[in-house]
Amino acid sequence: MRLTYSAYDAGRIVGMTASAVLHFRQMGLVTPSERVAGRRSFGFVDLVCIEVAKTLIDRGISVGKTQQLLAELRIQLASMKQSLGNVQIVATPTSIHLRTRDEMTAALPAAATCIALDSLKERIATLGHQSDAGALGSSSPTRERPSTAYEWFRFGLRKQEEGELDAATAAYLRTLELDAAFASALANLGGISLARGETSQAVDFLKRALESDPRLAEAHFNLGCAQFEQGAIADAITSWQETLRLAPRITDAHFQLGVAYARTRNYANARKQLDLYLEADPASDLAEQVRALMFKL
């Protein structure tokens, strides 16, 4: 069984806050690739991508270029036949490649950053040996009452990951009392409202989130889902197209577009989007459902 990680654990492993990991996800830099009990979680390759994304963004590389380099990295990781613990990632502002242990004595390109995956594995192992109490540490918002908008947001994020949606909602609303334009809190409230079937409220929160930060690809995706539920198919299609423009790795947008095009009897585009979905995620839980839908088109 492969290990999976929450945004909170992923952040601890790579040296980021959980909210920063969530922000990377909302911008489409990383997408949890594992499913556990119907919920998305991060796998090892996702952790690698988070670490690389953090390195590139910290060096001033644009979000768009970072997305492109991460896409290239995932292709290379998928074709790597030896243990990733013996691999280094060499990243420059314009390129990214893997090098094996035998190649590690070669000089690095100018302006290159080297990321050793054995170091990442060691941090994962360290995390696994920590007790829950020790892992929380003194900085956990559950030990001290949050005071700033950022602390309330972190508290809400933790409660949302634990499935305590009422507590998460209250924390996000408190975040907004302190910072009305906190985009990630608005986006998460939209996601919770959508999950509860409160589509009008979801649309309101998600539109406000995107007014604050139009780069939040996952907010565009959820907005499309809420619009589709309201019967605003054309608006939903626009939202999912924007999702894919910002974050091609959110492949569920292809599925949603396929369903939306089929609903409007645009069968050619429906088949195209469903084909793209199966090409990107052939082992998806929805694969059989997609093939059955395509058979009917």
Question: From CA 195, how far away is CA 28, in angstroms rounded?
Answer: 20
Arithmetic mean of pLDDT, 110-130? 74
pTM tops 0.75: no
Burial of 280 (0-12, 13-18, 19+ CB in 10 A): middle
What's residue 44's pLDDT? 86
User: Cα 164 from chain centroid?
Assistant: 20
The answer to whether position 140 is within a domain reads: no
User: Cα 111 from chain centroid?
Assistant: 28
Please indicate, yes or no, whether residues 233 and 258 belong to a single structural domain of this protein. Answer: no
Please indicate, yes or no, whether residues 238 and 257 belong to a single structural domain of this protein. Answer: no
Higher per-residue pLDDT: 63 or 106: 63
Please indicate, yes or no, whether residues 74 and 114 belong to a single structural domain of this protein. Answer: yes
Contact 205, 182 (CB under 8 A): no
Please indicate, yes or no, whether residues 14 and 99 belong to a single structural domain of this protein. Answer: yes
Please indicate, yes or no, whether residues 268 and 179 belong to a single structural domain of this protein. Answer: no
What's residue 142's pLDDT? 42
What's residue 204's pLDDT? 97
Please indicate, yes or no, whether residues 13 and 122 belong to a single structural domain of this protein. Answer: yes
- Quick one: pLDDT band at residue 107, thresholds 50, 70, 90? low
Contact 50, 24 (CB under 8 A): yes
The answer to whether position 154 is within a domain reads: yes
Structural domain boundaries, residue 185: 146-245
Arithmetic mean of pLDDT, 206-220? 92
Query: Into how many domains does the chain fold?
Result: 3
Domain final position from 223, 245, 267? 245
Please indicate, yes or no, whether residues 119 and 152 belong to a single structural domain of this protein. Answer: no
Please indicate, yes or no, whether residues 26 and 80 belong to a single structural domain of this protein. Answer: yes
Instruction: Report the mean per-residue pLDDT for the chain.
Output: 83
Arithmetic mean of pLDDT, 45-67? 86
The answer to whether position 139 is within a domain reads: no
The answer to whether position 117 is within a domain reads: yes
What's residue 124's pLDDT? 80
The answer to whether position 103 is within a domain reads: yes
Please indicate, yes or no, whether residues 27 and 89 belong to a single structural domain of this protein. Answer: yes
The answer to whether position 48 is within a domain reads: yes
The answer to whether position 192 is within a domain reads: yes
Question: From CA 277, how far away is CA 6, in angstroms rounded?
Answer: 25
Please indicate, yes or no, whether residues 176 and 70 belong to a single structural domain of this protein. Answer: no
* 133 pLDDT more than 60: no
Please indicate, yes or no, whether residues 121 and 13 belong to a single structural domain of this protein. Answer: yes
The answer to whether position 86 is within a domain reads: yes
Please indicate, yes or no, whether residues 115 and 179 belong to a single structural domain of this protein. Answer: no
* 271 pLDDT more than 90: yes
* 132 pLDDT more than 50: no
What's residue 130's pLDDT? 43
Q: What is the pLDDT of residues 154-209, one digit of tens each?
A: 888 888 877 788 999 999 999 999 999 998 899 999 999 998 899 999 999 999 99
Which CATH number fits the domain that encloses residue 27? 1.10.1660.10
Which CATH number fits the domain that encloses residue 160? 1.25.40.10
* 224 pLDDT more than 60: yes
Arithmetic mean of pLDDT, 275-279? 90
Contact 39, 230 (CB under 8 A): no
Q: What is the pLDDT of residues 15-44, one digit of tens each?
A: 887 777 877 887 778 888 887 666 678 888
CB atoms within 10 A of CB 69: 22
